[in-house]
Amino acid sequence: QDGAPDWDLFKGRVGGAIERARAAARKSTIRVYSEIVDILSQRGKKAAVLRLEDQWNRLIGYHSFPLFCAYFTDHVFSDDSRFLRDVWRRHTHLVSA
């Protein structure tokens, strides 16, 4: 599917890892960091990036955790403002460094 993960596999593997981390952390908050979105974008797989962003948001609905995504903006957004807007719409907060 253009490099995007299968939802059932993603939910099982990543969701399972989040559940295990939460159980091990007990009362501590877990945080999730993803750079796979950037790897996909570097490979020009914009549709896969958007699907993965949607899958992360869907998984947050099941497990409620903070997710931090990282993109190198130089190569991702310099030529496609529509893609940038599509990515931004899938996030609640944006930080530029």
pLDDT per residue as tens digits for the range 51-74: 999 999 999 999 888 888 877 766
pTM exceeds 0.95 for this model: no
What average pLDDT score do residues 17-34 get?
88
Q: Choose between 39 and 8: higher pLDDT.
A: 8
Q: Choose between 31 and 85: higher pLDDT.
A: 31
d(CA 25, CA 18): 10
Q: How confident is the model at residue 95 (pLDDT cuts 50, 70, 90)?
A: low
Residue 25, class by beta-carbon neighbours within 10 Å (0-12 exposed, 13-18 middle, 19+ buried)? exposed
